[in-house]
Amino acid sequence: MKTSYKAMQVSRPGVLELVERPVPRPGAGEVLIQVQACGVCGADAADIEKAAPAAQPPRVPGHEVVGRIVALGAGTPGIWALGQRVGVGRLGGHCGECVQCRQGRFQLCLNQPVVGSTRDGGYAEMMLARSTGLVAIPDELSSEEAAPILCAGIATFNALKKCGAQAGDTVAILGIGGLGHMALQYARRMGLHVVAIGRGADIAADALALGAHVYIDNRAEDAAARLQALGGAQAIVTMIDHAETVSALLAGLAPEGRLVVLNPGKGPLQVPAGLLVGGQRGILGSITGTPYDNEKALSFSVLVDVRPRIEVMPLEQAGEAYRRLKTGDVKYRMVLTMGHA
Ligand SMILES: [Zn+2]
Ligand SMILES: [Zn+2]
């Protein structure tokens, strides 16, 4: 095996630098992965812009990682084998000991590394990972297709499962980008009546092709009133960071309806409490999920033929990929590839 590998690290805030690093050995309970593909996610922006090289070594971003296991650390469970194709998402592996883990809520583990933020991620040819964070990748998916499912896919898949809407109910998807385009496909195939809400008319045809039954242009019409005219939404799943737009849409929820929030947003959410009390409506936050949940998202994607729409760029062009993400020039998802099969 090679003794060094290429990585794109955040040497100072906002700047990705191509470096050569010595190949590490996996510690106890860890594996070494030869990375094949890594998605570029909106959450990478905070990791890259807010990096604090003084507080921790220069970080490698990226948390939608797919590759092959090339070395196993001591005590790695027998379900993981050399050569196996695995993935790692944002949550880097639970500890198994904290009060949340003891209740089986591994996604809420108190000692869980955040991949690409508190430990190195997948903008690299090699990456160490905790075995508790590993996800098995089905053969039907290429590494490039599987990568975005590990964050954008599972985030929306789990949100839809938790949102309380049943087959036949109306669900609104607010924000038709990297996350929203996955949510539309999943929601349609879960048997929901799918309303896509976006900005402008140019995305309408795409939204309908991805699975929406109805498209609402939030700039041109009152989306909450349209939802009420459709009988109200049993659930609204929002991916956008604009708090005022999310707050305004709450009036479109049916009684007992839920707003599911996937984006921490830039400002506090204003909530008319009367709307919650009167109709017993609720608001719920949702993060990605456990590796087991992630395997369900992958297998559902295979079963019902959901795929992310991706653009692919080589690892060395991560800086350019990131620049395009920041300027809104990536329509759905961008994936970096490392040239390894
Ligand atoms: Zn992400
Ligand atoms: Zn834990």
CA 20 from centroid of its chain's CA atoms: 28
Q: How far is the CA of 81 from the centre of ligand 2 (A)?
A: 24
C-alpha of residue 107 to centroid of ligand 2, in Å: 9
Residue range 122-157, pLDDT digits in tens:
999 999 999 999 999 999 999 999 999 999 999 999
CA–centroid distance, residue 151 to ligand 1 (Å): 5
Q: What is the pLDDT of residue 248?
A: 96
Residue whose pair of structure tokens reads 């191509």 in the numeric block: 18
Q: Tens digit of pLDDT for each residue in 191-235?
A: 999 999 999 999 999 999 999 999 999 999 999 999 999 999 999
Check if the beta carbon of residue 159 is closer than 8 Å to that of residue 283. no
Is it the case that residue 292 has pLDDT exceeding 90? yes
Neighbours of ion ligand 1 (CB under 5 A): 41, 43, 151
| Residue 56: band (very low, low, confident or very high) from pLDDT cuts 50, 70, 90 | confident
Tokens 């070395």 belong to residue = 71
Mean pLDDT of the chain: 96
For ligand 2, the distance from its centroid to the CA atom of residue 102, given in whole angstroms, is: 7
Name the nearest CA neighbour of 115 among 139, 150, 149.
150
In this predicted structure, the answer to whether residue 30 has a pLDDT above a threshold of 80 is yes
Using pLDDT thresholds of 50, 70 and 90, give the confidence band for residue 50: confident
Report CA(41)–ligand 1 centroid distance (Å). Answer: 5
- Output the pLDDT for position 68: 98
Q: How far is CA 125 from CA 34, 38, 150, 205, 336, in A?
A: 6, 10, 18, 38, 11
